[in-house]
Structure 1
Amino acid sequence: MAKLLTLLQWADAHYETPPSLRTLQRWTREGRIYPAPELHGREYKVQHDAVYVDPSKKNLKPKPKHVKLPSKGTLLERLKHGEQASPLRR
Structure 2
Amino acid sequence: MNQAEMEQFAQNDREDLLALLEMRFGPVPDDVREVIGLNEDLNDLQRLIIAACNAAEWEVFVEELHAGQGSFKLTGERFNPVANSSGKGASL
Which structure has the highest helix share of the two? 2
Q: TM-score range by the shorter chain?
A: under 0.3
TM-score (norm 1): 0.27
TM-score (norm 2): 0.27
Q: Report which of the two has the higher share of strand.
A: 1
